[in-house]
Each structure stands twice: as structure tokens, then as C-alpha cells.
Chain A
Amino acid sequence: MTKVTMTVNGKSVSAETEGRTLLSAYLRDGLRLTGTHVGCDTSQCGACVVHVDGKPVKSCTVFAQDVAGADVRTIEGMANADGSLGVIQQAFQDHHGLQCGFCTPGMVMSAAALLAENPKPSEHEVRHYLDGNICRCTGYHNIVKAVMAASGQDVSALAAE
């Protein structure tokens, strides 16, 4: 076992790991930050997306020991300082961008990464960027709408074509 230390949501943390401990397990089992979900274990579903040094990463395919010392941000670190929902989180609630909530943490983290790179994405750019995140409940309609709304765009008239 090796003690791995990193910064998670602004705080320095550490937990014991085996060589095979994944970042997702480090967060969930080691730190009890269970907002990061594991839906597939094969890097397909995206429910486990977190930010590592500002970049979106599927935490089920990264060894915890490989990101020792990194600055990690999870869904638990996305609310405003006063505890209220951040802009993207609020847009997801306003536009019914979630149902069962299981894919939601990964969706929010991916959306945050997109908007950091591209503050006013088109519908196509949003859909393309979220291709690594599967949602089974929403048919993606309201997720795409929420992400565009979070970027400050008017979504009242969005429809196909």
C-alpha cells in the first residue's frame, strides 16, 4: 500500500492505495466522495468524469498513483462558495437536464470543461463534446439545452433543424 496525496476540490487529501487502485476508487472508497459514479468500468459511459489539472478525465481509467500531487475537481466541488448551485448545475435543474441523476456528475464535469474551452458552443459542438458521456434517461435533449443555456445562449426556440 502506498499513501497518495493530491488536492481535491481545493483541499489537500491523502489515502492508502494499491498499485491497481483507480482514481475513481480513490475518490469513492478512499475519500468517500461518492458523487463520482462508475457506470461501466470500461471508459465508455463517462459517469466518472472529473477534472485533473483542469482537464476532463475518466477517473475509472486512471491509476490514483499516476495522478499523485495533481489538482483534482469533482462534482462535490462545483457548487458556489455559499453552497448554491453553480451556473451549469442551475441550468441542468432549470431545463430538466437530469432524471435518475446517475450520469449527471460526469455530464456536469464534461460540460464545465467544454465551456472553459469554448464559452459559446453551437448545438453540434455540445453534442460532439458530450459524446463520451452516455445518458439513458433524457434522450440528451434537455442536457444539450442546459449546456447551451449555461453558456448564456437563448434556448427558448431550440428544435430539430
Chain B
Amino acid sequence: MPKDHGIGASSKRREDIRFLTGKGTYTDDMNIAGQAHAVMVRSTVAHGRIKRVDTAAAAAMPGVLAVFTGEDFAAVGGNPAGWLINSRDGTPMREPKRPVLAHGKVRHVGDAYAAVVAETYQQARDAAQVIADDSEIEELPAVVNMAAAVANASNRVHDEIPDNVCYDWGWIEDNRAKVDAAIKSAPHVTTLELVNNRLVPNAMEPRASIGEFFPGTQDYKLTTTSQNPHLTRLLVAAFVLGIPENKLQVVAPDVGGGFGSKIYHYGEEALARCAGRRNAASPSCRTRMAETT
């Protein structure tokens, strides 16, 4: 007989009841009193130099509470990579800053370089469009093909990285000569060239974040679609914004799938936290975005 409870039993899921009756609470389901809405202004070109971002007209539009550009985050940290990999020659990987909002250059279609916070989502969208219209981005040739990226040193994603290579890694370097010799002397060698296709996780719930600031205690709260709220707290507090960890609470409520896409601490999360503070009259800020990656 299969077990009917405890370890090894196919107990029915208790969480199903709220999901089946429409009572789950995902981030975008929340509506905090005075909640404002943020919309990102995203690059429409893959590679470009930011010549001008004029936010004056947008800032004066109805309902607009705050505007942000890359300039506002130039002094804080970038979103860090989780792992430091060393190349075969022992040198550490090249790790360009990943800013909260793009600064100087945009480097992919969808790279956010400004953001608008407004009383309603539609007002924020309208103002974001005005910033896009009032910005000038000089399009540069895009580095798309990997072989060409390595071969063509004149075309750089990051100006400081000449060959576009992050690292050249060998595992295990000490095995190499032995492996080469074994292959050379083997009776048969099968060779295959293949492409692991690039995928998008597409968890059904898009990403969303709500940042809140409590002026009385100077505490922050970030509600976000995360697979790892503690890690997000550590990254936002210690690495990106440099605020005490004990002043930031991170909540990941019901989250509609992750598959890896909700591990990373995204710039929008840091932005929602900042927008909450800037915008003291409406102390929370919601961003909702579909994945573009």
C-alpha cells in the first residue's frame, strides 16, 4: 500500500487551494495605498552611444513623480556577477560594470537607460515615450556573431575589452596534453559541431517589483518575483546600493515559476527601491515588465 501521509506519500498540495480559487498573491496582484508605477525607457538599438537624454518635458507631464537616468546611478555599484572565473592563464575574467540604468552606452535592445515614475501606469508609459523621443542615441555597429566578435577587435561591446572575450577557460588544464595525445593515437574519433540553442525561460509570471520606503524608521521593503529573497537582499544592500542589510526587507510572495530567470537581481529591483525613497509622497513604486531577453 502506498503511504497516505508523511515521507513517501503523494500528499495533495495545500497551496493548490489558493491558486485554484484565484486567491494567490503574486507581486503584481498587490496594490499598496499610494502606489506609483515605474516604466523603463529601453534602447531600440543593439549598440549605441547615449548623446542626450532630456527628461524635462516628461517630468512636467501629468502624474509624473520622478524620472531617473543612468546619471543617477553612476556613483553606486553595478549588479555583480555571482561567480568569478579565471582564464587558462590564471588571469581573472573581464567584468564590466552592469549599471542599474545604462550610462554612456546602450549595449542591447531593451537595455534600460531611463525610467519614469508616475501615479498611474498609463501616465508612466506616456512619459517614457516622451523621454524616448527626447533622447539621442548614436547607433554603433552591433556585435552579434560570436566568431566575428572575437575576430574583429575594432568593434567592442565594452570599450575597455578589446577582443570581447570574458574569459578563456580550460578544465582541467593539466589534463590537456594527455587528452590531446589520447585523441591523436585513438583508433577512431567522432567529431560533431553543434549549437546549443539560446532559450528564454518564460516563467508564466512576468517579473515585477514593488519598492517601499518608511520614512519614520528609514526602512526599505522590496517585494519582488525572486527565487532567492535573501540573496537579493544581500546584493541590493551590500553590492549595489550600499545600505545596511538590516534596513532592507525583501519579500518574494507567490511567484509564478522561475526556471532560473528569477535568481538574478535585476536593475529594476534596485530602481524600485530607490524610487520608493525619492518619491516620499507616494512611498511605493511598482514596476512590471515582460522579459525581453
Contacts and interface: CB of A to CB of B under 8 A. Distances in A.
Contacts of A93: 12-13, 16-17, 20
B205 A100 contact: yes
B63 to A, nearest CB: 13
B21 A76 contact: yes
Consensus secondary structure, chain A interface: loop
A130 interface: no
Contacts of A33: 22
A40 interface: yes
Nearest to A36: B22
Kindly name the residue among A18, A34, A76 whose own CB sees the greatest number of chain B CB atoms within 10 A: A34
Contacts of B259: 136
B16 A20 contact: no
A135 B22 contact: no
B256 A102 contact: yes
Chain B interface SS verdict (over half): loop
A56 interface: no
Contacts of A135: 204
A115 to B, nearest CB: 16
A69 interface: no
Interface string B1-34: 0000000000011011111111111101101000
Interface string A2-31: 000000000000000010100000001100
Given A103-B204, A137-B257, A98 B21 contact: no
B254 interface: yes
Contact of B205 (A18, A39, A41, A92): A39
Interface residues on B, range: 20 to 34
A101 B17 contact: no
B129 interface: no
A105 B24 CA distance: 10
A47 interface: yes
Given A45-B204, A100-B203, A103-B204, A34 B19 contact: no
Nearest to A78: B21
Given A93-B12, A102-B256, A137-B257, A41 B290 contact: yes
Contacts of A39: 204-206, 256
A104 interface: yes
Contacts of B64: none
A75 B21 contact: yes
B202 interface: yes
A100 B204 contact: yes
B293 interface: no
A34 B22 contact: yes
Interface in A75-110: 75-76, 78-79, 85, 89, 92-94, 96, 98-105, 108
Contact of B13 (A18, A76, A96): A96
B20 A89 contact: yes
Nearest to A134: B204
Nearest to B21: A79
A39 to B, nearest CB: 5
Interface string A65-80: 0000000001110110
Given A93-B16, A96-B13, A100-B255, A136 B202 contact: yes
Interface of A: 18, 20, 28-29, 32-41, 45, 47, 74-76, 78-79, 85, 89, 92-94, 96, 98-105, 108, 134-137
9 contacts: A39-B206, A39-B256, A75-B20, A78-B22, A85-B20, A101-B20, A101-B24, A103-B204, A136-B259
Per CB-CB distance, the 8 closest pairs between chain A and chain B, nearest first, are A35-B22, A101-B19, A102-B256, A34-B29, A75-B22, A102-B204, A100-B257, A89-B20
